[in-house]
Amino acid sequence: MTSRKAFFGTSTTRQIKIEPDLKEEEEEDPGKRQAAEFRPAVGRSVSPEILDTLKTGIKNAARLPIYLAHTHIQYMYEIVEFKGWREIVRSLADTWIENPANPQRAAAAVKRSPSHIDASNLLCGYCLFRLNERPYEAGRYWKRVREDDGLRIHNEHAETVVFIAVEDLDVHNGFFMPLRKGEDVCVDGDANVWFPATGGGGGVCLVFKI
């Protein structure tokens, strides 16, 4: 069985192995299942002004050299950067984790307690992402992150990945479930998530030791 690779990470790029495309006989529409599964983990706590700045930056950002050097690989999504992005996203991450309702929601979603009492010690990664459109054939519409890797970026501790939508996201623009602009969803770093081939959307990814 062959595998493809996508890149996911923060300051240090990490490779994620991707399973071969989903076949219809395995599961016709993972999007419906994932929407129901992850909906209880959705919340909202981000300023609209920040979202508009990030959306524009994500849409206009040039591709990073790592992707230009591997154009033969069909990435599900790409990490993007633009001037000043790190300060904006770090501030957003601090605001998110300092709201007690957010880590509580994350902990409930993954059925784990935070690894630190001090919320400021929970953040372990962050990035901006842009979802890519991929060619596909009938019955080969979805790809998933392998179960043995998941979405995590570190192996030495459990992680919760928080996706924040800077625009409305759903299966029509590459995301794995419906998420309105300003909403975020907390996902276990070990979750088996399928992504559609549509692409076009973008957002923020935060990784916490929860």
Query: Distance between CA atoms of 200 and 170, rounded to whole angstroms?
Result: 10
More confident residue, 57 or 192: 57
Tell whether the model's pLDDT for residue 202 goes beyond 90: yes
Between 175 and 6, name the one with better pLDDT: 175
Domain tally, the chain: 1
Q: Answer yes or no: is pLDDT of 144 > 90.
A: no
Give the residue numbers spanning the domain of 87. Answer: 4-208
What pLDDT was estimated at residue 4?
29
**Can you give the pLDDT at residue 58?**
97
Q: From residue 127, give the alpha-carbon distance in Å to each of 1, 139, 171, 203.
A: 30, 31, 21, 9
Closest CA to 8 of 149, 107, 166: 149
Rounded to whole angstroms, the Cα distance separating 44 from 129 reads 19
CB 17 within 8 A of CB 149: yes
Mean predicted confidence (pLDDT) in 12-39: 63
Which CATH number covers residue 22?
Answer: 2.60.120
% residues pLDDT > 90 (the chain): 60
pLDDT top residue among 4 and 170? 170
Under a CB-based contact definition with an 8 Å cutoff, are residues 162 and 184 in contact? yes
Q: How many CA atoms lie within 13 A of 206 on its CB side?
A: 26
For residue 209, the model assigns a pLDDT of 93
Overall average pLDDT of the 115-129 stretch: 86
Tell me which of 109 and 75 has the higher pLDDT. 109
Q: Which of 7, 10, 5, 3 is nearest to 206 (CA)?
A: 10
Determine the Cα–Cα distance for residues 141 and 134; give it in Å rounded to an integer: 9
Q: Where are the alpha helices (DSSP H) in 1-110?
A: 30-38, 48-60, 65-68, 85-98, 101-110
pLDDT of residue 23: 45
The residue-averaged pLDDT of 127-154 equals 75
In this predicted structure, the answer to whether residue 14 has a pLDDT above a threshold of 80 is no
